[in-house]
Amino acid sequence: METLEAAPPVVPPAAAPAPPARRRVALTPYALLAPAAVVLALVIGYPLVRLVLISFQDYGLRALFTGRTRWIGLANYTAVLHGDEIAPMLVRTALLCVAMAAGTLVIGMGAALAMRELGRRMRTFVTFCLIAVWAVPNVAATMLWTWLFQPTYGVVNWLLTHVSGGFGQYDWTAHAPSALLLVWLLVVWQSVPFVALTLYAGLSQIPADYYEAAAIDGAGYLTRFRMVTVPFLRPILLLVTVLSVIWDFNVFNQIRLLTNGGPNEGTTTLVVWSFTRAFAGQSYGQGAAIAVLATALLVALTGYYVRRLVRAGEGL
């Protein structure tokens, strides 16, 4: 009787190595991002590291000329955090930033919704006006605002005087509430074009079928806006919110040129305070400490919105 021999086990062939072309494709994104990363490291990374180092030094006017400084550890941060100015600065910065960002988003959304209802020619005209406003430099826009609200011969005071009277010599920058209103109007006026055009671009991508279905179900305008428009625009709304918070938190030129932080520091924010403490007070170490604290606060705030933005993008 013949015995059957077992067949030798079949050894699967070894996996072929990935072709070089595929490896090159995998490294291509990193190679494309490398130049931008190097530029950011030089333009932003080095000044930020230098700022942190100065915040731990007794860096004053003498050190600026001699180049010799003395390390004092956390003394600058202690002086700033234990001072009487830090609390009003934080509150004023937070309230002004929230007010400017909220005003920009509300007015920008209204402008975007209005543009969707306009005809082609009128929409083109409005788009051109928004881009023209957006293109005006901060310094030029601030000087224009200064002329408009000038107490003696300003256009705004002249118009209000003819309408209601009593504004002939009113100085908008002499009182904290009116000065803050002036800054708010200027920053929102400059920020609305970007938000409006971005939101209009998102509105133009929403299919009309969703609005028609909601209208057939009896949904009104506000219901359609809440149930259709807002869910589709949520990632874009979060994005423009993050950008608005960053821009409004870092507003400097408008405040410095329009009110110079006054009256009685009534419009001074953390960014303006850092500049004033460093250059007007000749205490560059404390100014750097304020800037580091402001940067840390801004990173923490925007990090929260960026996480929400990522989650909103994943949920689509």
* Run of H or E including 77: helix 75-81
- CA 162 – CA 158 distance, rounded (Å): 6
Of the candidates 20, 88, 43, 72, the residue with the CA atom closest to the CA atom of residue 289: 72
Cβ count within 10 A of residue 6? 6
Report the SS3 class of residue 56: coil
- CA 242 – CA 250 distance, rounded (Å): 13
Report the SS3 class of residue 71: strand
The torsion angle over the Cα atoms of residues 312, 307, 269 and 193, rounded to 10 degrees, is: -30
Structure tokens, 278: 């460093």
Backbone dihedral region of 250: left (phi > 0), alpha (psi from -120 to 50 degrees) or beta? alpha
For 36-80, the pLDDT digits (tens) are 888 888 888 888 899 999 999 988 878 877 878 889 989 999 999
For 150-209, the pLDDT digits (tens) are 888 888 888 888 887 777 788 899 989 999 999 999 999 999 999 999 999 999 999 889
Contact assessment for residue 269 and residue 93, using Cβ atoms and an 8 Å cutoff: yes
Q: What is residue 62's predicted lDDT score, i.e. its pLDDT?
A: 81
Residues 6+ away with beta carbon under 8 Å from 278:
284, 286, 287, 288
Q: What is residue 126's predicted lDDT score, i.e. its pLDDT?
A: 93
pLDDT band at 25 (very low <50, low <70, confident <90, very high): low
State the pTM of this model.
0.83
